[in-house]
């Protein structure tokens, strides 16, 4: 019986030479495209190579490549808290951008715990990861050991806790804090309460310092009693907001606005006050992140919008290009979204 010829004699036997032949390019060009460094190839050529890879179901030999190059196609992404929608948004953006470069993302949740972060770092080093991306790093011994080594480290949203000059993708958090303060001051707010996440986060710290400095410079310093952080063991932002609002209410603090360093903190604080005083008596509330659900469930929340969907492209550029040695910082734009007019 005569059989119809297959795309290859066996999909498992497809080689890089088969891909090159089908795409009508050289093996070197295929290799560059698969490794995400096809900066000299045209978009048409890249598309032909990727189509040939798909048609032949070609998979590079990761084991052999890892041994030769002492790295794999794996990129480790260590997130501090995947329950936070912003972390999930950044992770999704990063996965898509890495996949376009022929890389595979491995996602881990460190729960903001140094010992768990180190456990994952040891495993990723054993797997010869191509790079390690931190969506909110914490200081840890293994991080100190890997810093400056052969595996690129990219810090997202929070700066490297041990080296502010490490490769970073994020917004200018200090400027974002100043923008919130300026918006509030322009609307006659002079005595806000400030609820913040742990100050071990460089993003949180920069926002808090900028807000307090801005109000002080305007002649309205925020009293220490109106600056409320989390209990020592509390890290979940919803709970931080709820507990801080309870503290403010218990102490009878007077304030004309509520500024929270994250939207989830604002959600928690808002829940507490709605239970106690109702919607009509709530002061203006500010947050950071501009959660995608805000337009639907939080029309009372003005928030700094951060373009998390674009973070992945910047991360992938740092990993696959030459930018780790040239451009250390990718500062992305932000804007304040006003929802409740004052």
CATH 3.40.50.2300 region(s) of the chain?
A: 70-171+308-333, 173-305
Token pair of 225 as six digits: 């009693």
Distance, in Å, from the CA atom of 88 to the CA atom of 94, rounded to the nearest integer, reads 10
In tens, the pLDDT along 145-194 reads 999 888 999 999 999 999 988 999 999 999 999 999 999 999 999 999 99
Q: What is the separation, in whole angstroms, between the first and last Cα of the chain?
A: 81
SS3 62: helix
Which H or E run contains 155? strand 153-156
**pLDDT value, residue 241:** 96
Sign of torsion over alpha carbons 85, 86, 91, 97: positive
Report residue 70: phi and psi, to 5°: 55, 35
Token pair of 310 as six digits: 């674009």
Report residue 13: phi and psi, to 5°: -100, 0
**pLDDT value, residue 326:** 54
Distance, in Å, from the CA atom of 326 to the CA atom of 93, rounded to the nearest integer, reads 23
Cβ atoms of 240 and 230 within 8 Å: the answer is yes
* Superfamily of domain covering 70-171+308-333: Response regulator (3.40.50.2300)
Residues paired with residue 8 on neighbouring β-strands, in sequence order: none
What parts of the chain have a pLDDT lower than 50? Answer: 1-12, 62-64, 66-69, 323-325
Ordered DSSP codes for 67-124: HHHT--SEEEEEES-TTSHHHHHHHHHHHHHHHHTT-EEEEEE-TT-HHHHHHHHHHH
Helix intervals (H) in 255-310: 263-277, 294-297
> Thinking of the domain 173-305, which architecture would CATH place it in?
3-Layer(aba) Sandwich (3.40)
């Amino acid at each position: 019986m005569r059989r119809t010829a297959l795309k290859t004699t066996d999909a498992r036997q497809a080689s890089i030479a088969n891909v090159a032949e089908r795409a009508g390019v050289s093996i070197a060009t295929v290799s560059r495209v698969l490794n995400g460094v096809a900066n000299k190839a045209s978009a048409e050529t890249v598309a032909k190579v990727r189509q040939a890879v798909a048609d032949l179901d070609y998979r590079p030999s990761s084991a052999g490549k890892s041994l030769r190059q002492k790295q794999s196609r794996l990129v480790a992404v260590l997130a501090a808290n995947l329950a936070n929608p912003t972390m999930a948004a950044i992770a999704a953006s990063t996965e898509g951008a890495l996949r376009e470069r022929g890389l595979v993302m491995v996602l881990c949740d460190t729960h903001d715990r140094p010992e768990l972060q180190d456990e994952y770092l040891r495993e990723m080093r054993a797997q010869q990861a191509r790079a390690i991306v931190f969506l909110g790093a914490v200081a840890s011994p293994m991080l100190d050991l890997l810093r400056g080594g052969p595996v690129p480290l990219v810090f997202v949203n929070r700066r490297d806790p041990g080296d502010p000059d490490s490769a970073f993708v994020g917004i200018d958090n200090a400027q974002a804090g100043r923008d919130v303060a300026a918006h509030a001051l322009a609307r006659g707010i002079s005595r806000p309460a400030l609820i913040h996440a742990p100050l071990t986060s460089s993003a949180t710290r920069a926002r808090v310092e900028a807000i307090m400095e801005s109000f002080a410079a305007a002649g309205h310093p925020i009293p220490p009693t109106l600056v409320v952080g989390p209990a020592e063991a509390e890290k979940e932002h919803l709970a931080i907001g709820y507990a801080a609002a309870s503290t403010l209410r218990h102490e009878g603090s007077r304030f004309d606005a509520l500024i929270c360093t994250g939207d989830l903190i604002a959600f928690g604080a808002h829940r507490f006050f709605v239970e106690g005083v109702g919607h009509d008596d709530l002061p203006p509330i500010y947050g950071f992140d501009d959660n995608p659900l805000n337009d639907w469930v939080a029309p009372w929340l003005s928030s700094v919008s951060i373009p998390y969907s674009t973070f992945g492209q910047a991360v992938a550029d740092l990993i696959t290009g030459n930018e780790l040695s040239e451009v250390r910082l990718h500062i992305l734009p932000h804007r304040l979204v006003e929802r409740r007019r004052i």
